[in-house]
Amino acid sequence: KELETTDIEVKRNLKSKRITSFLTVALYVSFILINNALNPQLEKVIYPLGKNVSGDLKDTLGIVPKACNLTYYKNEHIKRIELDIKLIPINKYVLKDDEELIIILQLTDATGNFSEDFYPSELENIDRNKVTRELKKGSDTEINVTFEINEKKALTEIPIEITNFKIITEIKQKNSEP
């Protein structure tokens, strides 16, 4: 009789563990689905429009020729578009003390026409300083940088005509303040 009671209790415990495991997995999957529905993330693969940047450093800085994910994060509070790319120094370049490097990304169509839906995006200081350091070293190390792109008007998706991007470099004189 004790063995039968123990056997029934073990079977009941196994059944409750299976139910608990199933409910845990179902809850986890539901959480992921609800989170993705509330915070959609759209991605589109785009390509560099050339193997080098254009502008002042066109013979000095290259773009690693690979597909890049243009990621569009969107919820009711945040709308952010990011593009992670890799740059690579071709030649050594040292900025003078009174010079400043500006790196701008523009989204384009396949023929190189700039998108009217997005503003040109300037590279943030942290990533720009990484590029400046690697150019100064003259190494052929790939530099991972992230551009945050702002839309001119509210979009629900990334326009289909955007297939490429172009990077423009400019060396400016720093403003001297009295």
Residue owning tokens 């529905």: 37
The full 3-state SS of the chain, as one line of letters, equals: CHHHHHHHHHHHHHHHHHHHHHHHHHHHHHHHHHHHHHCCEEEEEEEECCCECEECCCCCEEECCCCEEEEEEECCCCEEEEEEEEEEECCCCCCCCCEEEEEEEEEECCCCCECCCECCEECCHHHHHHHHHHHHHCCCCCEEEEEEECECCCCCCCCCCCCEEEEEEEEEECCCCC
As a whole number of angstroms, the distance between CA 38 and CA 51 comes to: 38
| Arithmetic mean of pLDDT over the chain | 87
As a whole number of angstroms, the distance between CA 124 and CA 61 comes to: 17
Can you give the pLDDT at residue 174? 82
Which carries the bigger pLDDT value, residue 99 or residue 157?
A: 99
Going by C-alpha positions, the residue among 95, 171, 97 that lies closest to residue 132 is: 95
Q: Is the pLDDT of residue 148 over 80?
A: yes
% of the chain surpassing 90 pLDDT:
54
Q: Is the pLDDT of residue 5 over 50?
A: yes
Q: What is the per-residue pLDDT across 60-105, written as a single tens digit (0 to 9) for each?
A: 999 998 888 888 776 655 567 889 999 999 999 999 888 999 999 9
Ramachandran sector of residue 112 (left: φ over 0; alpha: ψ -120 to 50; beta: rest): left
Predicted model pTM:
0.71
Can you give the pLDDT at residue 159? 83
Can you give the pLDDT at residue 39? 56
Q: Check: CB of residue 87 under 8 Å from CB of residue 61.
A: yes
